[in-house]
Amino acid sequence: MPELLNLTGMSLEFGGVRALDQVSLSVHTGQIYGLIGPNGAGKTSLFNLITGLYRPSQGEIRFKGDSLLGIAPQHIAQRGIARTFQNIRLFAEMTLIDNVMVGMHTHLAYRFWDLLLRSRPFRHAEVQARKQALTLLERVGLSPYAHALAGTLSYGNQRKLEIARALAMQPQLLLLDEPVAGMNPTEKNDIQDLIRSLRAQHLSVLLIEHDMRFVMGLCDALTVLDFGRVIAQGSPQAIQENPAVIAAYLGEEVPHAE
């Protein structure tokens, strides 16, 4: 399988403090890749590097072979990387369907004149987009609330809406930052099924999650971060048996699945 995302020797500093130290990993097309590690290990910071919000002090990021260094966040997104946020960042005062349609912004290719004349291409594109948005909401189980404001949703449903909005961007790589935090077991299963169905569509997923059962049951490969450093990399099986990983998690829940 071809390499989709490739990070080599990524380091990040905050005022002299190393948040990430020489992190390397690669995600292949169609892979579900897990990123785990204790609190403050640098997982979210790595997402911020990939999406262009932070600049690394060292290292290289390649997506489909091209470097992403120095590229603005909106252009990285346009190249096919979508994400969700650990601390939910929805457009709270917009409806669910409008939130999802914001995700389609760059794919709605009508011109300014079409919009003013309300011409056929414009109306067609808007109607199609609205249908697609509804389909996506259905996929995450939120279609009954399509016209409610995003801010009125429960915590778990807000996370689902973030996933739908990210999928609306038709990305090739989806970054999920703790997608099932605060969800009940049934909801977690739904999300697991959803992510598997994405893999079947050849979408690649890089996900951060603390729920070990969820991660081990879903991911094809994993990287474990601790204090900004990669302490283990490999299959879920190998990770669970790795002594360094067990040591890092000592005092927390030891990663055991199934």
Partner 1 sequence: MNWADWWATYSTLVLSVGVYGMMALSISLTLSCGLLTLANAAFMGIGAYVSAIATTTFDLPFSEALLLGTLGSTCVALLIGLPVLRLSGVYLAMATLGFGEVVRILLLNLDITGGPLGLNGIPSLTQWWHVLAALLGTVFLLQCLRLSRIGRAFEAIREDETAARLMGISTHPLKLLAFVTGASIAGLAGGLNAHYTFTLSPGNFGFENAVDILTMAVLGGIRGLPGPLLGGAIITLLPEVLRDLQEYRMAANGLILILVVLFLPQGLWDLPRIRGWFKRA
Ligand X SMILES: Nc1ncnc2c1ncn2[C@@H]1O[C@H](COP(=O)(O)OP(=O)(O)OP(=O)(O)O)[C@@H](O)[C@H]1O
96-103 helix and 120-139 helix, angle to the nearest 10 degrees:
110
Residue 122: which H helix or E strand, with range? helix 120-139
Specify the amino acid at residue 19: A
Residues 128-167 binding partner 1 (CB under 8 A) are: 165
45 touches which of partner 1, Mg ion, ligand X, none (CB within 5 to 8 A by kind)? ligand X
138 touches which of ligand X, partner 1, Mg ion, none (CB within 5 to 8 A by kind)? none
In terms of Cα–Cα distance, which of 11, 4, 59 is closest to 175?
4
Examine residue 86 and tell whether it contacts Mg ion (CB under 5 A): yes
Examine residue 51 and tell whether it contacts partner 1 (CB under 8 A): yes
Examine residue 3 and tell whether it contacts partner 1 (CB under 8 A): no
Q: C-beta of 257: minimal distance to partner 1 in Å?
A: 31
155-167 helix and 120-139 helix, angle to the nearest 10 degrees:
140
Beta pairing class for 173-177 and 81-83: parallel
Distance of CA 172 to the CA centre of its chain: 11
Q: If you write DSSP's letter for every residue of 138-170 in order, what string do you get?
A: HHTT-GGGTTSBGGGS-HHHHHHHHHHHHHTT-
Residue from the set 8, 44, 189, 233 that interacts with Mg ion by CB under 5 A: 44
- Of 170 and 233, which CB lies nearer to partner 1 in the complex structure? 170
- Of 105 and 202, which CB lies nearer to partner 1 in the complex structure? 105
Q: Is 33 helix (H, G, I), strand (E, B) or coil?
A: strand
In terms of Cα–Cα distance, which of 62, 57, 53 is closest to 19?
57
- Of 136 and 224, which CB lies nearer to ligand X in the complex structure? 224
- Of 41 and 206, which CB lies nearer to ligand X in the complex structure? 41
Q: C-beta of 208: minimal distance to ligand X in Å?
A: 7
- Of 70 and 251, which CB lies nearer to partner 1 in the complex structure? 70
143: burial class by Cβ within 10 Å (0-12, 13-18, 19+)? Answer: middle
Residue from the set 27, 30, 33, 43 that interacts with ligand X by CB under 6 A: 43
- Of 39 and 186, which CB lies nearer to Mg ion in the complex structure? 39
DSSP state of 105: G
* One character per residue 61-90, x = contact with ligand X (rule: CB under 6 A): -------------------------x----
- Binding region for ligand X (CB under 6 A): 14, 19, 37, 39-45, 86
- Binding region for Mg ion (CB under 5 A): 44, 86
